Structure 1
Amino acid sequence: MSLLQGIHHAAYRCRDAKQTIDFYRETLGMDLMLAISEDRVPSTKEPDPYMHIFLDAGAGNVLAFFEIPNSPPMGRDENTPAWVQHIAFKVADMDTLLATRERLRSQGIEVVGPTNHELFQSIYFVDPNGHRIELAADTVEPGVLEKLHELAGPMVEEWSRTRSTVRHAAFLHEKEFSADH
Structure 2
Amino acid sequence: HLLPIFQWPKVIQPVEIGHFVIRTREVAPLVTYYKMFFGAKVAAETHPITFLTYDDEHHRLAIILDPSAVPKPTGRPPPPTCGFDHLAFTVPSVGHLLRSYRQRRDAGLTPAYCLDHGMTLSMYYVDPDGNKVELQADCFESKADAVRFMGTKVFAANPRGVQYDPDELLQRLEAGETEAGLLAGMLGRKTIANL
Q: TM-score range by the shorter chain?
A: 0.5 to 0.7
State the partner residue of 1:177.
192
Q: Return 5+ residue gaps in structure 1 as ranges.
A: 38-50, 152-165
1:20 aligns with 2:30: yes
Distance 2:129 2:52 in 1: 15
Does the Cα contact within 8 Å between 1:119 and 1:141 map onto a contact in 2?
no
State the partner residue of 1:144.
145
State the partner residue of 2:64.
66
Correspondences of 1:60-139 after superposition (within 5 Å): 60=57, 62-69=60-67, 71-76=68-73, 80=80, 85-139=85-139
Over the aligned positions, Cα root-mean-square deviation in angstroms equals 3.5
More strand by share: 1
1:75-125: CA deviations, max 9, x gaps? Answer: 25998359x711222222222211222232223333245421121111122
**Count of matched residue positions in the alignment of Structure 1 and Structure 2:** 149
1:55 aligns with 2:52: yes
Question: Which amino acid in the other structure matches residue 100 of structure 1?
Answer: S
Indicate the SS of the match to 2:55.
Answer: coil
In the superposition, the TM-score normalised over structure 2's length comes to 0.59
Of residues 97-106 and 121-130 in structure 1, the stretch that sits farther from structure 2 once superposed is: 97-106
More helix by share: 2
Distance 1:26-1:120 versus aligned 2 partners, 3 A rule: same
Does the Cα contact within 8 Å between 2:44 and 2:52 map onto a contact in 1?
yes
Indicate the SS of the match to 1:97.
Answer: helix
Does the Cα contact within 8 Å between 2:24 and 2:69 map onto a contact in 1?
no
TM-superposed CA distance for 1:33, in Å, is 1.6
Q: Return 5+ residue gaps in structure 2 as ranges.
A: 1-10, 160-186
Question: Which amino acid in the other structure matches residue 12 of structure 1?
Answer: I
In the superposition, the TM-score normalised over structure 1's length comes to 0.63
TM-superposed CA distance for 1:3, in Å, is 4.9
State the partner residue of 1:30.
40
Distance 1:116 1:168 in 2: 13
Question: Which amino acid in the other structure matches residue 27 of structure 1?
Answer: F
Question: Which amino acid in the other structure matches residue 66 of structure 1?
Answer: I
| Percent of residue pairs bearing the same amino acid type | 23
